[in-house]
Protein backbone atom coordinates (compact mmCIF):
# COMPACT_ATOMS: atom_id res chain seq x y z
CA UNK A 1 0.00 0.00 0.00
CA UNK A 2 1.39 3.40 -0.92
CA UNK A 3 1.42 6.32 1.48
CA UNK A 4 -1.25 8.13 -0.53
CA UNK A 5 -3.56 5.12 -0.38
CA UNK A 6 -3.35 5.20 3.42
CA UNK A 7 -4.48 8.82 3.52
CA UNK A 8 -1.01 10.25 4.12
CA UNK A 9 0.05 12.97 1.70
CA UNK A 10 2.92 12.14 -0.64
CA UNK A 11 6.26 13.08 0.86
CA UNK A 12 5.00 12.68 4.45
CA UNK A 13 6.10 9.45 6.05
CA UNK A 14 4.96 8.67 9.58
CA UNK A 15 7.83 7.81 11.83
CA UNK A 16 9.70 8.67 14.97
CA UNK A 17 10.63 12.16 13.76
CA UNK A 18 7.21 13.13 12.43
CA UNK A 19 5.24 15.62 14.50
CA UNK A 20 1.52 15.91 14.06
CA UNK A 21 0.14 19.41 14.41
CA UNK A 22 -2.61 20.09 16.89
CA UNK A 23 -3.14 20.29 20.60
CA UNK A 24 -3.66 17.83 23.39
CA UNK A 25 -5.79 18.91 26.31
CA UNK A 26 -6.20 16.81 29.42
CA UNK A 27 -9.14 17.92 31.51
CA UNK A 28 -8.73 18.37 35.24
CA UNK A 29 -11.24 15.57 35.89
CA UNK A 30 -9.00 13.09 34.10
CA UNK A 31 -6.01 14.13 36.21
CA UNK A 32 -8.13 13.75 39.35
CA UNK A 33 -9.14 10.20 38.42
CA UNK A 34 -5.56 9.17 37.63
CA UNK A 35 -4.29 10.72 40.86
CA UNK A 36 -7.12 9.18 42.92
CA UNK A 37 -6.42 5.70 41.55
CA UNK A 38 -2.67 5.95 42.09
CA UNK A 39 -3.08 7.41 45.60
CA UNK A 40 -5.45 4.60 46.63
CA UNK A 41 -2.98 1.97 45.42
CA UNK A 42 0.00 3.65 47.11
CA UNK A 43 -1.80 4.17 50.43
CA UNK A 44 -3.35 0.71 50.30
CA UNK A 45 -7.03 1.62 50.63
CA UNK A 46 -10.11 1.32 48.40
CA UNK A 47 -10.73 4.22 45.99
CA UNK A 48 -13.87 5.12 47.90
CA UNK A 49 -11.75 6.03 50.93
CA UNK A 50 -9.76 8.64 49.00
CA UNK A 51 -10.73 12.18 47.96
CA UNK A 52 -8.51 14.23 45.66
CA UNK A 53 -8.31 17.89 44.70
CA UNK A 54 -6.05 19.09 41.88
CA UNK A 55 -5.11 22.70 41.17
CA UNK A 56 -2.60 24.58 39.04
CA UNK A 57 0.13 25.94 41.32
CA UNK A 58 3.52 27.55 40.74
CA UNK A 59 3.76 26.42 37.12
CA UNK A 60 2.77 22.87 37.96
CA UNK A 61 0.15 20.92 39.84
CA UNK A 62 -0.72 20.90 43.53
CA UNK A 63 -2.50 17.82 44.84
CA UNK A 64 -4.53 17.53 48.02
CA UNK A 65 -5.39 14.01 49.15
CA UNK A 66 -7.76 13.11 51.98
CA UNK A 67 -7.67 9.44 52.89
CA UNK A 68 -8.00 6.87 55.58
CA UNK A 69 -4.74 5.22 56.56
CA UNK A 70 -4.26 1.49 57.13
CA UNK A 71 -2.73 0.76 60.52
CA UNK A 72 -1.99 -2.53 62.25
CA UNK A 73 -4.24 -3.93 64.95
CA UNK A 74 -3.40 -2.01 68.11
CA UNK A 75 -3.11 -5.27 70.07
CA UNK A 76 -0.42 -6.53 67.68
CA UNK A 77 2.63 -4.90 69.28
CA UNK A 78 5.06 -6.64 66.93
CA UNK A 79 3.31 -5.21 63.84
CA UNK A 80 3.25 -1.75 65.42
CA UNK A 81 6.98 -1.88 66.19
CA UNK A 82 7.83 -3.02 62.66
CA UNK A 83 5.98 -0.13 61.01
CA UNK A 84 7.38 3.38 60.54
CA UNK A 85 5.71 6.23 62.44
CA UNK A 86 2.78 7.83 60.61
CA UNK A 87 4.59 11.09 59.78
CA UNK A 88 7.51 9.22 58.24
CA UNK A 89 5.12 7.03 56.23
CA UNK A 90 3.28 10.09 54.97
CA UNK A 91 6.47 11.91 53.97
CA UNK A 92 7.59 8.85 52.01
CA UNK A 93 4.14 8.61 50.39
CA UNK A 94 4.36 12.29 49.39
CA UNK A 95 7.69 11.74 47.69
CA UNK A 96 6.70 8.47 46.01
CA UNK A 97 3.37 9.87 44.78
CA UNK A 98 4.97 13.03 43.41
CA UNK A 99 7.40 10.90 41.37
CA UNK A 100 4.69 8.49 40.19
CA UNK A 101 2.23 11.24 39.28
CA UNK A 102 4.82 13.27 37.40
CA UNK A 103 5.66 10.20 35.34
CA UNK A 104 1.99 9.28 34.74
CA UNK A 105 0.67 12.75 33.93
CA UNK A 106 3.70 14.36 32.34
CA UNK A 107 3.10 17.37 34.58
CA UNK A 108 5.33 18.89 37.22
CA UNK A 109 3.95 17.97 40.65
CA UNK A 110 4.81 20.92 42.89
CA UNK A 111 2.98 19.93 46.05
CA UNK A 112 1.36 16.84 47.58
CA UNK A 113 -0.63 17.45 50.77
CA UNK A 114 -2.28 14.74 52.83
CA UNK A 115 -5.14 14.87 55.29
CA UNK A 116 -5.68 11.66 57.22
CA UNK A 117 -9.43 11.26 57.75
CA UNK A 118 -9.43 8.00 59.69
CA UNK A 119 -7.82 4.65 60.18
CA UNK A 120 -8.48 1.28 58.65
CA UNK A 121 -7.67 -1.53 61.05
CA UNK A 122 -7.68 -5.12 59.77
CA UNK A 123 -10.55 -7.19 61.08
CA UNK A 124 -9.68 -9.82 63.61
CA UNK A 125 -10.44 -13.33 62.50
CA UNK A 126 -11.68 -15.83 64.96
CA UNK A 127 -9.65 -18.99 65.25
CA UNK A 128 -11.70 -22.14 65.73
Residue 69's domain spans which residues? Answer: 28-120
Q: Is residue 12 part of a domain?
A: no
More confident residue, 101 or 26: 101
Q: What is the pLDDT of residues 3-49, one digit of tens each?
A: 444 555 555 555 656 788 988 777 778 889 999 999 999 999 999 99
Q: Is residue 126 part of a domain?
A: no
- For residue 1, pLDDT over 50 is answered with no
Q: Is residue 35 part of a domain?
A: yes
Distances (CA, A) of 119 to 48, 65, 68: 14, 15, 5
Q: Is residue 74 part of a domain?
A: yes
Angle between helices 86-105 and 28-43 (to 10 degrees): 140
Number of domain units in the chain: 1
For residue 79, give every residue at least 6 positions away whose Cβ sits within 8 Å of its Cβ, in sequence order, or none: 72, 73
Q: What is the CATH number of the domain that holds 75?
A: 3.30.70.1350
Is 102 in a helix, a strand, or coil?
helix
- For residue 88, pLDDT over 50 is answered with yes
- Residue 83 banded pLDDT, cuts 50, 70, 90: confident
Q: Is residue 5 part of a domain?
A: no
Q: Is residue 41 part of a domain?
A: yes
Amino acid sequence: MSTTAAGIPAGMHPGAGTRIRGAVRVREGVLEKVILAKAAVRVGVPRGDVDVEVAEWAGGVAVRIATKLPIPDLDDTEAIRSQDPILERMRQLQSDLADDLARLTGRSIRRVSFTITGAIIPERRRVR
